[in-house]
Amino acid sequence: MEIDLLADGRFLGARSTRALIGGLPELGAAFGEALGAAITTIAAVTGARARALGAIAADSIGNRLLWTPDPERAMALAEPLVAAIGLGLPKPRFVRVGRTPAVRRASCCLIYEVGNPKCVSCPRQTPAERDARLRAALG
């Protein structure tokens, strides 16, 4: 995998440099190894709970899957993929905003605690407020 970083450490993107041989079990095992190490390390350094970090990972996987050209297939793949990872991550959940699928997040980044507005899909707002904000953003 190649990761694009700015000099100040900000993450710009990533891409595969080769295909993973195998199917869903092999992909899940590879994800599990990488995410397990990342979650353990981040939890140890920050004091964040592993379960909360796992929710962020599951929501991120759901979001990334929606970037594919076939969102229906992506949503169907999300739960089996997360189960194959084997870290006890929550199941990815999805909602429709009009015809557009979006992740119904289980995680919160807490960015609002440092004076920024809540993310559009933040789970720490009322369902009505989240729905209105998602509709405004996604049409």
Residue stretches of the chain with pLDDT short of 70? none
Dihedral angle, C-alpha 103, 61, 111, 54, nearest 10 °: 110
pTM: 0.82
* 138: nearest Cα among 121, 125, 118, 117: 121
Residue 8: its pLDDT value, please? 83
Rounded distance between C-alpha atoms, residue 29 and residue 67, angstroms: 22
DSSP, res 123: S
Rounded distance between C-alpha atoms, residue 64 and residue 19, angstroms: 17
